[in-house]
Amino acid sequence: MDQHHTRVPIEPLPATRPRPVKQPSHTHYYTRRVRESLTTRFVKLLCAIFLGILFIVGLVLFIMWLSLRPHRPRFHVKAFSIQGLNQATGVQNAQVSFDVTARNPNQNIGIYYNAMDATVYYEEKSIGQTPLLFPFYQPKKNTTWIHGELSGATLAVDSAKWQSFMDEMSKGTVVFRLDLKSRIKFKVSNWWDSKNHRMHASCQVTVGKDGQILLSSKDKRCSVYFS
């Protein structure tokens, strides 16, 4: 007996579709980029503002420092002479006279001077000393004329020193040093004065055979320092 086989049709499996790849959101991407850009710009703006303010403050402080920084007074020798230098008996008749200008170069600062003394040196040894001025105030951009004389008791010239003068004079010139001393303080405004400074003005002076200052020393600027 023949067996009949019945073929059962096989249904094909449904085709599987590939899963879609999730694409990044363009809106979210550009939003993040814009946010980062705005943050960077804001930080840069803050830095620029801070640096600008810092520069302006530094510039103002520098200008104030320049305008309020005291400059030393300036001294110039205008005249210097020794009378009787060419006399054999000049020890008793000698007289030293000089004129010096004191200039306040400051634009906004005045100078207070206490009493000023003058000392004349020869070979770094004092040959006389005398007081010059009572305390005074020197305004800004002002020049004060200082005159002084040494004679008699204010001179300390013995015969040995005088002979040294004569020996050097025979060579044509004699070199002296005029030293001015005072205590000064700077007045910046009505509300601030500096502390006292001990000021020295050292002036090298050369005189000729006639005892008069040489042109090379006239109007020469003196060295000024504080101690």
Find the mean pLDDT for residues 95-118: 92
For the domain covering 74-226, report its CATH number: 2.60.40
Domain ranges within the chain, ordered by starting residue = 25-69, 74-226
User: Is the pLDDT assigned to residue 11 strictly greater than 70?
Assistant: no
H helix or E strand, kind and range, residue 165:
helix 159-169
Residue whose pair of structure tokens reads 């840069």 in the numeric block: 44
Which residue type is seen at 154? Answer: T
* Chain segment 143-184, per-residue pLDDT in tens: 999 999 988 777 777 777 777 777 887 788 889 999 999 999
Q: Which residues contact 138 (CB under 8 A, 6 or more apart)?
A: 73, 102, 104, 110, 111, 112, 113, 144
Listing DSSP states for 135-159 in one string gives -EEE-TTEEEEEEEEEEGGGB---H
Q: pLDDT, tens digit, for every residue of 31-82?
A: 666 666 777 777 888 888 888 888 888 877 666 655 567 889 999 999 999 8
pLDDT the model gives residue 16:
60
d(CA 155, CA 150): 6
Residue of higher predicted confidence among 115 and 26: 115
